Amino acid sequence: MSDTGAWPPPEGLTTKIVPRKDAILQLPYSTVVHAPAPLVFDALLRVADYPAWNTWIPSAHILTQPSSSDASADPNDLSRMRNGSTMVFNVIMNADKPTSITPTQLRVVDISTPSSPTSYLTPDMLADPSFTADLSKVYRVSWTGNGGMYALGIKLERFHEVIVRGENECEVRSWEIMGGLMARVVKALYEETLKDKVALWCEDLKAYCEKMHAQGTAA
């Protein structure tokens, strides 16, 4: 299990949509964040605040929200991901060209928290060292492609895990796996760039959340 062993595992990572055997490109990164896990997870889900910290995705928009049995859930609130949200990430691949944006269409396929764990990942999948099996201490979100280039031969799933390591400390693990014929083209052209961007995302998140936590503690 990933919470007791080295991560990423030497045999590589897996996801539900793109299993290890079909993986063409894997993009893992992890970092320790000195801030509470719920704060970090909320920052991940709250796309309206991405301009404040996310260098790679300086803007993101929720397009549609799923219907909810929760009467308090505002169907017009497009600020934060929910399970089933469709969204667009405006991606900057070249930092020297910040106005050159690639819109990327995505759909959230799972959100799991210690207080509201889901069954998206089966027990067999949770036994894989890619994942943190202890649902009592992991916040998890995953999304996949939703049309656009993902309808042209690329399968994708991205996971973020925020793992509780203490009251004011957590570990963020992020990995994206691509499969399909066109994933070979992406790997050949952009593998190193994408690895750097995934690392940038996580380090931006770390800096932002640690600052927010420090300001809250001071207040």
Tokens of 111: 């959100």
Q: Rounded to whole angstroms, how far apart are CA atoms 129 and 5?
A: 8
- Provide the CATH number for the domain formed by 20-53+108-218 in this structure: 3.30.530.20
pLDDT attached to residue 147: 76
Q: Rounded to whole angstroms, how far apart are CA atoms 62 and 76?
A: 10
Pairing label, strands 59-64, 155-166: unpaired
Q: Where are the domains of the chain?
A: 20-53+108-218
Both ends of the chain: CA-CA distance in Å? 38
Tokens of 7: 């991560």
pLDDT attached to residue 41: 98
Q: Considering the entire predicted model, what is its pTM?
A: 0.93
Q: Rounded to whole angstroms, how far apart are CA atoms 98 and 105?
A: 19
pLDDT attached to residue 148: 66
Position 8: which residue type?
P
On whether the CB atoms of residues 130 and 173 are closer than 8 A, the answer is no
pLDDT attached to residue 219: 58
Per-residue pLDDT of the chain in tens (219 residues, 90 and over written 9): 445 458 999 999 999 999 999 999 999 999 999 999 999 999 999 999 999 999 999 999 999 999 876 656 677 889 999 999 999 999 999 888 888 999 999 999 999 999 999 999 999 999 999 999 999 999 999 999 997 665 567 899 999 999 999 999 999 999 999 999 899 999 999 999 999 999 999 999 999 999 999 998 775
